[in-house]
Structure 1
Amino acid sequence: MSLYRGDFMDDIVGNYEKSGKMDDLHGKGKPLEPSSGDPLQGVLKEANYLPGWLEQQQLIRKDIIQAIELLRLEGASPKVQICLNKLNTDITQYNTSCPPIMQRGFITLENIHTKLEQWN
């Protein structure tokens, strides 16, 4: 057995195959079906992995809905402005972690309803 990693793995797989442990593999002898789309996205989806920026996107969407409800109840109160300031801080953090094409603009009292549509 060689110390070269490729040869080492070849030896392991070869021994496993010789022992007959690969005879009952699902799909053995059938052609492989190439996956469509981005291979990384497929692996992440299969592993039920959600990137941090997507989780943050969902949280921001919920916070926008809460801000709209607060605005409906209280009007343009200081509480609403504090809520918008926190949202915009969260959006800044989101924009630094997501792909550039997914970045979003800040939320104001005037554009909050339009921005909610963009976050859906």
Structure 2
Amino acid sequence: MSDFEQQPKNDLIGDILKDYSKTGGMDNLKGTGEKIPKEYFSGDTFQHFQKIAKDAGYKPQWLKLQHEISDRLQGLENLETAHMKKEVSKINKKIAEHNKSCPPSLQKMPVSADDLETARRIWG
């Protein structure tokens, strides 16, 4: 065996879960003791993870950003030009952050102060 194979494994997530369990964090979890639906054991594992996470109320960061961007685009035309351009610049930074974390097929172009109506349709 090589030196690498003999080194103890680091299981950070496992350690966190053990510590959390020791302090009672795993007690009274929703669904404890219930049978796991058969559908969770068939098909694509990633899709099942997404369904379980969605059922538990989890939203990925890129989806939270998508909602934030959509909300920030509302009412921009009521701002004075200089302030609107600053807001659009901030929104475009959020769009760049969104594009780094979302699936490639959901990435979107930056918005322009000249065409806010189109931007709202795209992000709405």
Same amino acid, percent of matched pairs: 26
Matches within 5 A, 1:82-97: 82-97=86-101
- Structure 2 counterpart of 1:113, from 101, 104, 117: 117
Say yes or no: does 1:59 pair with 2:68.
Answer: yes
Q: CA RMSD in A?
A: 2.2
Matches within 5 A, 1:2-81: 33-34=38-39, 38-65=47-74, 69-74=75-80, 77-81=81-85
Secondary structure at the aligned position of 2:98 is classed as helix
Gaps in structure 1 of 5+ consecutive residues = 1-24
Specify the code of the residue in structure 1 equivalent to 2:116: I
TM score, norm. by length of structure 2: 0.61
Gaps in structure 2 of 5+ consecutive residues = 1-32
Secondary structure at the aligned position of 1:106 is classed as coil
TM score, norm. by length of structure 1: 0.63
Superposition misfits of 4+ residues, deviation over 3 angstroms: none
> How many angstroms does 1:26 deviate by?
5.8
Secondary structure at the aligned position of 1:104 is classed as coil
Secondary structure at the aligned position of 2:113 is classed as coil
Specify the code of the residue in structure 1 equivalent to 2:84: V
Bigger Rg, which one: 1
**Partner deviation per Cα, 1:98-117 (whole Å, 9 max, x = no partner):** 11111111111222211111
**Partner deviation per Cα, 1:10-46 (whole Å, 9 max, x = no partner):** xxxxxxxxxxxxxxx766xxxx642588212211112
- Aligned mates of 1:73, 1:47 — CA distance in 2: 39
Specify the code of the residue in structure 1 equivalent to 2:67: Q
